Every structure is written in structure tokens, then in C-alpha cells.
Amino acid sequence: MISHREVPADATIKEVVVKQEPTGEWFAVLGIETENGAPPKPENPEKCVGIDVGILKYAHDSDGTAVEGPDLTDERERLERAQRDLSRKDHGSANYEKQQRVVARRHADLKRKRRDFLHKLSNYYAREYDLVAVEDLDAKGLMELPSNSRNRAGAAWGTFLRMLEYKCDREGTHFVAVNPRGTTKECSKCGVETEKPLWVREHSCPSCGFEADRDLNAAYNILSRGFDQVGVVHPDSMPAETALPPGTVAVPAERVLETGSPVLSEAVRPSRAG
């Protein structure tokens, strides 16, 4: 038997659900209750971050880390080949049913790689910070927009935000979902709104002259709204007055998948124990 993780010693198993996946694999899902509850959330959070999610960069935070999304090209190509092979089989035949299981395994490979990335990224933010501010996105509504729906579906923003929320609760971290309206247009320095087509990747305020990466500016605004919502005083250092911060780190998804942390080195951002 292969277990996802060990059951805590103080856990009481409340429910067991046994299910079979289309791949033919069997799983037992345990619902448990532990004696030790979540740690209390700090009244005055010190380490705070705003996260802007997107397609070109999966996540860009207010500390200057830009995380690329996972490259699922190989998995998608294997899935498409399996689907083409399935279309050539006689419906209802033994070969057709066998190929159906192959297609199911390819779907599962794609899903597992994506969820592995999302689990590790959300776990990092929940453990590293005292407060995490995100946009309160209508993921279902975004999926219904006419353009780029495949990339939106592959991004799985709703799944990421749900994972992040329950992990923040587990770690005693404030999770704040703010109104997303205008976070990209609004200048994080002076509040003036400027229209930006999607291809414009830098924010340049015509009012105060503040310049920053488009997504970094949005992350600043998200964090600022998170402070307002929780009642935390804004630090004087936000936002940093720089066009492209020298501390900005572009992190490939492979680093998240391999190490479970988007940080490239201890010199970039210290890690919190545990």
C-alpha cells in the first residue's frame, strides 16, 4: 500500500471513502480529526505578501518573486496521442476499453503534475508568511470568457486559491481575498487608474511617474487592500520606487516541483523553520 502521507499519531479516523479511478486504481480517502488545532493567527502580522496570478507568470508576488507555470506540453501531447489512438479503436471492443484506461492514465498524469505544483506553491506561501493577500477571483466566470479559455482552465487558479486558503488556516496565517477590480489599472503609489492593454507589461503612472512591472504593481495593490481589510497599517516601504526591482526573481516551475519552494537561494529570502 502506498500512502500520500503518514496519519498523525493524535488523529482519530472519522470517515473512510474507497473509490476506483477510471485508470483502474483504487484509493482510500481518510477523514481525520486531530487533537491539536491550528495555531492562532498573529494580531500584528509582520511578513506579508500580495499575490497576483496570471498566465504569462503563474504568480507574481509583492516581494518580487515571479513564478512560471508548470510546463505540461509533454503530458498534453501524450494525452492527445492516446485520444487519437482511442478514436481508431472499435467502440465497445476489448482494445477500445484497454485504450480508454490509457487515456485515463494520461489525464491523471496531467492532473497530478499540475496539482503537485499547486500544492507546493500554496504550501510555501502559507508557511513563509503571516498574511497572504490574493484577488477574490470568479474562476468560473473567467472560464466563460470567449478568449484564452484553455490557458485559464490549465492555470487552475480556483484550485490554487482554495489550497492556499485551507493551508493558511492550518498554519495560522491570515488569508485575505480582496476585490480584484482595478488592481492592474490602479497605480500602487498614488491610486490613479491607467488603462493598459494586455500586451503592455509595465506600469508607468502618468500622474506620479511611478514605474514597475505590471504584475508587481498589481501585487502591491492586492497587498494594500489586504492591509485595509485586516486593519494593518501600511508599511512605509511599500511600494518600492523602482522600475524593475533588482531583487525580482523569475523562478521556473521546475524549481517548485523539485524542491517545493520557489526561492532560488537562502540569500533571496530567508525560510521560516517548519
Give the pLDDT mean for 196-216: 84
Q: What is the pLDDT of residue 254?
A: 67
CA dihedral of 188, 192, 195, 198, whole degrees rounded to 10: 0
CA atoms within 13 A on the CB side of 265: 5
pTM (two decimals):
0.75
Q: What is the pLDDT of residue 90?
A: 92
pLDDT tens track for 43-53: 888 899 999 99
- Residue of 261, 253, 222, 36 whose CA lies nearest to 132: 222
Q: Annotated active-site positions, please?
A: 52, 135, 215
pLDDT at 4 over 80: no
Q: What is the pLDDT of residue 245?
A: 44
pLDDT tens track for 221-241: 999 999 988 887 766 556 544
Q: What is the pLDDT of residue 155?
A: 61
pLDDT tens track for 118-163: 999 999 999 999 999 999 886 555 544 445 444 444 468 889 999 9
pLDDT tens track for 245-270: 444 566 666 666 665 555 433 333 33
Domain ranges of the chain: 1-37, 45-70+119-259
Extended strands (E) in the chain:
11-20, 26-34, 48-53, 59-61, 65-67, 131-135, 174-178, 202-204, 211-213, 249-251
12 confidence band (pLDDT: 50, 70, 90): confident
203 confidence band (pLDDT: 50, 70, 90): confident
pLDDT at 95 over 50: yes
Local structure of residue 228 (DSSP, 8 states): H
**Residue 178, SS3 per DSSP:** strand
How far apart, in whole angstroms, are the C-alpha atoms of residue 134 and residue 240? 19
Q: What is the pLDDT of residue 87?
A: 93
Q: What is the pLDDT of residue 184?
A: 87
Q: Which are the contacts of 119, defined by CB distance < 8 A and separation ≥ 6?
A: 163
How far apart, in whole angstroms, are the C-alpha atoms of residue 169 and residue 162? 11
Mean of the per-residue pLDDT values of the chain: 80
CA pseudo-torsion sign 220, 224, 229, 232: positive
| DSSP state string for 60-118 | EETTSEEEPPP--HHHHHHHHHHHHHHHTSPTTSHHHHHHHHHHHHHHHHHHHHHHHHH
Q: State the fold for domain 45-70+119-259.
A: Nucleotidyltransferase; domain 5 (3.30.420)
Q: What length does the chain have? A: 274
Task: Average the pLDDT over each of 6-10, 70-74, 171-175, 190-194 and give the range with the smallest value.
Answer: 6-10
Cell numbers at 257, concatenated: 516541483
Is there a contact between 191 and 207 (Cβ–Cβ < 8 Å)?
no
Q: Where is pLDDT greater, at 271 or 206?
A: 206
- Residues 39, 42, 47: CA angle, nearest 5 degrees: 110
The one-letter amino acid at 52: D
How far apart, in whole angstroms, are the C-alpha atoms of residue 170 and residue 166? 6
Q: What is the pLDDT of residue 143?
A: 45
pLDDT at 214 over 80: yes
